[in-house]
Structure 1
Amino acid sequence: MTSEKDDVLDVTTPHGPARVHVTVPDSPRGALALGHGAGGGVGAKDLVATAEVAAGLSLAVALVEQPYRVAGRRAPAPARQLDAAWTAVMAELRAGALAGVPLVVGGRSSGARVACRTAAEIGAAAVLCLAFPLQTPGRPDRPSRLPELEQVTVPVLVVQGERDPFGMPPPAPGREVVVVAGDHNLARDVPAVRAAVRGWLPAVLPTTAGERPAPR
């Protein structure tokens, strides 16, 4: 018989308290931590669908609300604050609720960027990007965020809407890009998002303790 433990944790960070919604099954084979977009929350359809897929694969799941959202603000904090808060949350989780299991990190849009920038420091096994915001719409003068993806040295999955105004990240060795119907919110074809995540997650996690992930 399988049971789950659900908790809502308040985690102290250098920029105020973050809130984490954690679901841990008996004997998890790994964990997935997800961050939200700049102006949204952890209830976004693609985040919820991804969390459900991970739970169905016997992974622990952590949905992380950044301190600015917990404080009731919609405008995102600067990148360095987002990264510092996320890193603090991951350290707390890896010492507690998610201890001893491989950790995949990710998120949607801004949350995906944070996961990419901090993956090496956290020691993530892989990175999952939902609607990665490659380029600011209508601002060709702004730099591309592609270097944030390219700095990741572990497997990456990008799930991107075919009409995303933020652009289409290119595939690369170790980086898979799955294109689905819709735009930046990935709400048009949630089953396709689920399928992409379900097909990728098991391959980047060990199948038994101490075993390396399957090659991509």
Structure 2
Amino acid sequence: MKRTETVGTEAGDARVSWYPAKDARLVLALGHGAGGGIEARDLAAIAAELPGHSVTVALVEQPWRVAGRKVAPAPKTLDTGWRGVWPVLAGPGLPVVAGGRSAGARVACRTAAELGAAAVLALAFPLHPPGRPERSRAGELLGGGVPLLVVQGGRDPFGRPGEFPEGPYRLVEVPDADHGFAVPKRSAVTQVEALRAVTGAVAAWTAGL
């Protein structure tokens, strides 16, 4: 049964939506991107699927979204909000995998080491701004020092899978998917199959942690 709680942080009130698993062995905490909230298709699919794999999912809404603002604040403020929620995420006493989509993935990577995350899940990591590959965020991606899974759409303008650097992490490509893991109608991959690719990759990876 889904449970929602409000958590005060130095950046304002955040909100955590819990999707508990029976016999949970870890918590997967996921933040949203700068252009949307926890209703994103990949986050919703993971929250529906992973509790069946003994993984409790916590979807974290940053204070700016809870306050109804339309524009995300600076990365430093996003990190502050995430840090403020962390004690609640770690409260069940289970290992916590930090993650998120897009900007939320960046937050998870930046703070993983200091917060003691067991691993990081990066969904649609924005490796660079669209059309600006020279502005790489590879250092941010690889700086966590913990096990890392990247799930990336094959057509993501923020970084296609072939653009990612080599490193000690796993990368799973979702064919034909864009930054939001949407696939075109003409694709040989259906939208349902694309989301199954996302949840299947996450379930297999968390099973091995």
1:30 maps to which residue? 26
Residue 33 of structure 1: CA displacement? 0.3
Structure 2 unaligned blocks of 5 or more: 184-193
Structure 1 unaligned blocks of 5 or more: 205-216
Q: 1:172 to 1:203 in 2, by over 3 A?
A: farther
1:196 and 2:197 matched: no
Which 10-residue stretch deviates more, 32-41 or 85-94? Answer: 85-94
1:149 and 2:141 matched: yes
Q: 1:182-202 CA deviation, whole Å, 9 max, x = no partner?
A: 111113311111221122111
1:107 maps to which residue? 100
Instruction: Please give the residue correspondences for 1:1-216 in structure 2 after superposition, counting only pairs within 5 Å.
Output: 5-94=1-90, 96=91, 99-140=92-133, 143-168=135-160, 170=164, 172-181=166-175, 182-188=177-183, 189-204=194-209
TM-score, structure 1 as length reference? 0.85
TM-score, structure 2 as length reference? 0.88
Q: 1:126-160 CA deviation, whole Å, 9 max, x = no partner?
A: 1001100001013355x211111111111111010
Q: Distance in 2 between matches of 1:40 and 1:8?
A: 18
Q: Distance in 2 between matches of 1:67 and 1:184?
A: 23
Q: Distance in 2 between matches of 1:121 and 1:154?
A: 11
CA contact (8 A) 1:34 1:106 kept: yes
Q: Distance in 2 between matches of 1:56 and 1:63?
A: 16
Paired amino acid for 2:145: T
Aligned Cα root-mean-square deviation (Å): 1.5
Identity across matched positions, percent: 52
Partner SS for 1:105: strand
Residue 173 of structure 1: CA displacement? 4.3
1:208 maps to which residue? none
CA contact (8 A) 1:38 1:74 kept: no
CA contact (8 A) 1:53 1:197 kept: no
CA contact (8 A) 2:10 2:81 kept: yes
Q: Distance in 2 between matches of 1:109 and 1:58?
A: 25
